[in-house]
Amino acid sequence: MSDRAKVLALHGGLLVLLFALQFVLPAYHHGNLARIMVLASFAVGYNVMFGYAGLLSLGHALFFAAGMYGMGLAVQHGGAAPVPGLLAGIAAALAVSLAVGLLALRTAGVGFMIVTLMFAQAGYLTILYFGTYTRGDEGLVLQQAQRVLWGIDLTQPGTRYFAALLLFAVCVLATLAMVRAPFGKVLIAIRENEERARMLGYDVFRYKLAAVVISGVISGLAGAVYGLLFGYVGATFASVQYSIFPLLWVLLGGAGTVLGPFVGTLFMFYLIDLSSAVTSAYMLVAGVALVLLTLFAPQGLVGEIRDRIWRWLP
């Protein structure tokens, strides 16, 4: 089998597996997996910027929240249906990521981390400041009637799972296409050696800006879908914690791999969930697990697999 066929088989296989799982999983894990697929889409968005373009952002909660609030405010106050709501979320994430990209890309390295962090902090405070519309930290609850898409009730477990899978599939296939396209190759070239890419005549700034916007829009879409599927839009999702999470998930799964974000999200979710069943000090277990993982799987889970077994993994 050629590498290309293997890649298609593996990723297609995962999506088919996820599709099939919904028929066999017990209710609890069925719900978890739907949630994980949406959060993994957020991580996929993060990975575009961090894993491929080498831009470490500490402010991705801003994009997730932009999508979530763009959707939530349109639905709650504008009376929008889910589809226009999602479009509003995408538009908000697009505008915010374009603005952040234009400003933050003037910096590099740690400066970029700090600027994105501070923009996200300003975004979080802005949500609180406009509490009249956003209900601040408490957030907005979307009623079941507001979450019916073309007559399909998104509050039903089956449709929710399917919607989450659809989102995840689109995000994975889009990144897969991106990595294989010349655009993705240029991003990786920039990550590896920015000067050389510039010497070769690439407009590095435009490529990076495109990466920021693509990453921001995917993250925002994930945020909008999350709000719609789980009926809640809140400021917590804009806090620093939710900027650290996608970084953690991507690093755990393997930065710069297409499946890494999903594996990392899945791993972290069940690490917390299962260890909290054993002990109330589950954070201790999670902490030790993270330390051990960095010691023994430095490339992240999928990264290690690529290093050791399947060298063709994208």
Would you say 155 or 312 has its CB closer to another protein?
Answer: 155
Q: Which amino acid is at 61?
A: A
User: How far is 271 from 275, CA to CA, in rounded Å?
Assistant: 6
Residue identified by tokens 């209710």 is 27
Shortest distance, CB of residue 74 to another protein, whole angstroms? 18
With respect to another protein, which residue has the nearer C-beta, 115 or 169? 115
Nearest CB to another protein, comparing residues 7 and 299 = 299
| 3-state helix, strand and coil shares in percent for the chain, rounded to the nearest 5 | 75, 5, 20
Nearer of residues 52 and 237 to another protein, judged by Cβ: 237
Smallest separation, CB 68 to another protein (Å): 12
Kindly state the smallest distance separating residue 149's Cβ from another protein, in Å.
15
Which sign, positive or negative, has the C-alpha torsion 270, 273, 277, 283? positive
- As measured in angstroms, the least distance from the Cβ of 174 to another protein is 24
Single-letter code of the amino acid located at 12: G
Choice between 11 and 191, CB closer to another protein? 191
State the nearest-atom distance from the C-beta of 94 to another protein, in Å.
Answer: 20
Q: Say if CB 253 and CB 263 are below 8 A apart.
A: yes
Residues 56, 247 contacting (CB under 8 angstroms): yes
Query: Residue 44 in contact with residue 215, Cβ under 8 Å?
Result: no
